Amino acid sequence: MLVSKKPLSLIAFAISFSLLTSGCSKQQEVENSNAEVSVSDTSDMSVSNPFFNEWDTPFGAPPFGQIQTKHFMPAFEKAMQQHKAQIDTIANDDSLPNFDNTLAQMELSGSELSKVARVFFNLTNTESNEELQALQRTLSPKMTRHSNEILMNTALFERVKAVYETRNQTEMTAEQLRLTERIYDDFVRAGANLTGENKARLAEINEQISGLTTQFGQNMLNDARAFTLELSESDLAGLPQTLINAASAQAKSRGLDDKYVITLNRSSVEPFLKFSERRDLRKKAFEGWAKRGDNDNEFDNKNIIKDIVKLRAERAQLLGYEHHSDYVLSDAMARSPEAAMDLLLKVWEPAVEKAEQEKQWIQELMAAEGADYELEPWDWRYYAEKVRKQRFDLDDGEVTQYFELNNMIEAQFYVAKQLFGLSFEERTDIPLYNPVVRVWEVKDEKNNAIGLFFGDYYARETKRSGAWMSSFRMQQKLAGDIKPLILNNMNLNKPAEGEPTLMSYGDAVTLFHEFGHALHGLLSNVTYPSLSGTNVPRDWVEFPAQIYEHFIAQPEMLKQFARHYQTNEPMPDSLIKRIKDASTFNQGFATVEYTASALVDMAYHRMTSVDDLDVRAFEDKVLSEYGKPSEIIMRHRSTHFSHIFAGGYSSAYYAYMWSEILDADGFDAFIEANNIFDKETSQRLYDFVFSRGDTLNYLDAYVGFRGREPSTDALLRNRGLSD
């Protein structure tokens, strides 16, 4: 997952950064938890505030040891004032508007605000505490208000419009032309053409949505924290030792030395649902997981959802669109809601059919074991794991023994070396916000440094669930040779001291996915920050991440890097074959689970008016109309669907499936070359995808890499959904 949406441009970064509240969570233990001043303290700290000074650190990385919560508000206020002055200078320039004195200057503006915002919003997602959350609730509407004032600045827009209208009569580079068209379009989509009451109302809506999405993300985190499944020794039947060790470590961290704790982090609750023989405890864990944000308590998100959906619909219509989905997708690769829905429905029917076959296998096994109850959602993973072992002789616990975190990190670096000539040197002199974070200097094949890569792999109570990529700085050349500082987050169970960090095969795939996003940021080679790296629509940004997933699944990679954590023996050929044979098992379940969420997302955002909205009833109505099996729920129920209600994926959750068309078809280029590291194919992947940012039309970029337009055949084949 990528945490921030495609920014409107650097001048509109506030909207983008406010969305980072859905993206991450890390633990800045001392600085944040021990801060002693209120979030409203705006006293002068010009000497002690690190945001008011140059950062004398390697690569200009944030000096986390110096940063305290009290520094943020003064830094934000000063940076916003500075940014406003820069924009006013551009807007009030008496000279004839041209690219250099208008768009290039806009790209250079706001750099100080970008610096403080990237640090702050990454920390609120990884080191969250009450003080940071309070500050975030204060800052989000301020940032949106600041962004609105820029995007609705009539004088500024007139200059942008003048450059846009004369773009074909000037000698712009292709990148400058692309930037001109993108920024003009972003202004129009942000309401620059509105007047009077409509413009004021749009600004009000944006500010309200910003506050609501911030509250949604905080509610989700806080509600998940409130749940704990505390186990005794007698409750551990069926659990693999790795999960027992992780649950024990989690309990010890809470002062429960003789207990075991299962949390609602996916890396904790999912394996529990797979292996626990205690059906009553599986039900309790499943319901806690499924009902995050839906417990009718202080952290309930149902009314927030209603308000967000209503405001988004109103905003879209103010801007001349039928509904929010129409607004979002007019600027995406899909181009229309109809195209996105066509894809979702193309996979839905075969996915449901395959899920029914999987259900039949499960029920046959339940009958053989004498189960005297009906299959329920909290049973599916448990019995599916039994069916997998029965039909494919494949036990997830056996597989996990071959996926150790350090080996998988080495594997992801190895692929980057083979494809793009990159090398990674771990640094111990880079400031960190949490001691578990690791940092590597990234070098190209000529041994030139291209940036830093931060890896934050472990779950904490202060950290948002899930996995994602974000950045402390993006690549650009306009303000000099600015090197990216890229961050990957996961939520693996931290083992006891001295124990290895073992991962499921799915976790290893996720690790590669997020590193694909990271490489998209690290390999960016563009001039203008608004076009840099991952600043592209959702249904294109997932392509680099998802094509990277394929490499860990290749037998030669598994033989080299999937090694038993005790013996260091490579994964045997027989196990590799069993993994491959079982690769499409339970894909009916997985596809229904994912597509159900995407269909509900589209349903919310194709509404043209919202008078009343019962979230539970809405989910049931939408999915019953499509015939969803009752034993499978949405992968993300609405009340914890942070992708769409606290992130940049509203009406765009389909993007993972859209990008899967591209990645499945695209990886076939390596297969057809009979070499998963084929140099010519790798070079095209770099030239047209990883290095290009938003400098090229997305279909043209894909055709440049693949030599033709994509086909859905590989997607259906890889999921086992084709005839």
255 and 188 part of one domain: no
Q: Is residue 106 part of a domain?
A: yes
Q: In angstroms, rounded to a whole number, what is the distance separating the alpha carbons of residues 225 and 133?
A: 14
What is the band of 497 on the pLDDT scale with cuts at 50, 70, 90? confident
Is 60 exceeded by the pLDDT of residue 198? Answer: yes
Confidence class of residue 18 from pLDDT cuts 50, 70 and 90? very low
Query: Are 503 and 402 contacting, i.e. CB atoms less than 8 angstroms apart?
Result: no
Residue carrying structure tokens 């899920």? 355
Tens digits of per-residue pLDDT, 643-692?
999 988 999 999 999 999 999 999 999 999 999 999 999 999 999 999 99
Average pLDDT (117-122) is 96
Residue 325 in this model has a pLDDT that exceeds 90: yes
Give the DSSP H/E element, type plus range, for residue 75.
helix 72-91
Do residues 233 and 215 share a domain? no
Same-domain status, 174 and 44 = yes
Q: How many domains does the chain fold into?
A: 2
Q: How confident is the model at residue 2 (pLDDT cuts 50, 70, 90)?
A: low
Q: Which has the closest alpha carbon to 270: 300, 295, 254, 246?
A: 246
Residue 17 pLDDT > 70:
no
> What pLDDT score was predicted for residue 41?
41
**Residue 82 structure tokens:** 């500075």
The Cα–Cα gap between 604 and 627 comes to 18
Check whether 554 has a pLDDT greater than 60.
yes
**Max Cα-Cα span within the chain:** 84
Give phi and psi for 227, each to the nearest 5. Answer: -95, 135
H-assigned helices in 446-535: 505-522
**CATH code at position 116:** 1.10.1370.40
Between 687 and 22, whose confidence is greater? Answer: 687
Does 204 have pLDDT greater than 80? yes
Q: Beta strand 485-492 with 449-458: parallel, antiparallel or unpaired?
A: parallel
Identity of residue 535:
N
Measured in Å, how far apart are the chain's first and last C-alpha atoms? Answer: 30
Q: CA 597, 599, 602, 606: dihedral to nearest 10 degrees?
A: -140
Percent of the chain past pLDDT 70, that is, above it, reads 93
User: Of 175, 193, 220, which residue constitutes the final position of a domain?
Assistant: 220
- Of 677, 721, 683, 675, give the one whose Cα is nearest residue 705: 683
Mean pLDDT of 556-576: 96
Phi first, then psi, for residue 228 (nearest 5°) are -145, 130
- Is the pLDDT score of 348 beyond 90? yes
pLDDT at residue 61 above 70? yes
Contact (CB, 8 A) for 182 and 693:
no
Three-state DSSP at 442 gives strand
Residue 586 belongs to a domain = no
Asked whether the beta carbons of 682 and 422 are under 8 A apart, the reply is: no
Among 239, 283, 246, CA closest to 396: 239
Residue 513 maps to a domain: no
| Residue 463 located in a structural domain | no
Among the listed ranges 413-422, 495-504, 608-617, 623-632, which one has the minimum average pLDDT value?
495-504
Residue 498: pLDDT band (50, 70, 90) is: confident
d(Cα 492, Cα 494) in Å, to the nearest integer?
6
- pLDDT, residue 45, reads 52
Residues 207, 143 within the same domain: yes
Domain edge (last residue) among 202, 220, 238:
220
Same domain, 187 and 251: no
176 shares a domain with 249:
no
Q: What is the mean pLDDT of residues 199-204?
A: 93
Which whole number is the average pLDDT over 256-262?
93
| Residue 170, in any domain of the structure | yes
Whether the pLDDT of residue 38 is over 60: the answer is no
Q: Are strands 468-473 and 449-458 parallel, antiparallel or unpaired?
A: unpaired
pLDDT band for position 259 (cuts 50, 70, 90)? very high
pLDDT at 275 (0 to 100): 95
Give the angle 250-251-257 at the CA atoms, nearest 5°.
Answer: 135
- pLDDT at residue 11 greater than cutoff 70: no
Domain span at 199: 10-220
Measured on CA atoms in the order 701, 705, 709, 715, is the torsion positive or negative? negative
Tell me the mean pLDDT in the region 123-132: 95
Shared domain for 165 and 259, answered yes or no, is: no
CA dihedral sign of residues 433, 438, 441, 443: negative
Q: What is the pLDDT of residues 150-176, one digit of tens each?
A: 999 999 999 999 999 999 998 999 999
Nearest to 224, CA basis, from 263, 268, 272: 263
SS3 533: coil
Mean pLDDT, all residues of the chain: 91
Tokens of 69: 């919560």
Encoding tokens for residue 215? 């509250």
pLDDT at 46: 53
Q: Contact at 8 Å (CB) between 150 and 8?
A: no
Task: Classify residue 715: in a domain, yes or no.
Answer: no
Last residue of a domain, one of 256, 278, 300: 278
User: In this predicted model, which residue has the larger pLDDT, 130 or 47?
Assistant: 130
The torsion defined by the Cα of 717, 718, 719 and 720, in degrees rounded to 10, comes to: 50
| Beta bridge partners of residue 458, listed in sequence order | 492
Query: What is the Cα–Cα distance from 190 to 277, expressed in whole angstroms?
Result: 53
Among 39-53, 558-572, 685-699, the minimum mean pLDDT is found in: 39-53
In this structure, the answer to whether residues 99 and 248 fall within a common structural domain is no
Residues 592-599, mean pLDDT to the nearest whole number = 97
My answer on whether 181 and 244 are in the same domain is no
- For residue 91, the one-letter residue type is A
251 & 151 share domain: no
φ/ψ of residue 54, rounded to 5: -65, 145
Q: What's phi and psi for 273, nearest 5 deg?
A: -70, -25
Helix axes 377-392, 279-290, angle to 10 degrees: 120
- Active-site positions read 514
| Position 122 in a domain | yes
Q: What is the pLDDT of residues 596-633, one digit of tens each?
A: 999 999 999 999 999 899 999 999 999 999 999 999 99
Structure tokens belonging to residue 177: 């032309």
> Is residue 517 in some structural domain?
no
Give φ, ψ of 441 to 5 degrees: -85, 130
Residues 136 and 234 grouped into a single domain: no
3-state per-residue secondary structure call for 368-426: HHCCCCCCCHHHHHHHHHHHHHHHHCCCHHHHHCCCEHHHHHHHHHHHHHHHHCCEEEE
Say what the pLDDT of residue 253 is.
87
235 in the same domain as 211: no
Closest CA to 123 of 613, 487, 625, 628: 487
Helix (H, G, I), strand (E, B) or coil at 469: strand
The answer on pLDDT for 8 being more than 60 is no
Q: What is the pLDDT of residues 299-308, one digit of tens each?
A: 999 999 999 9
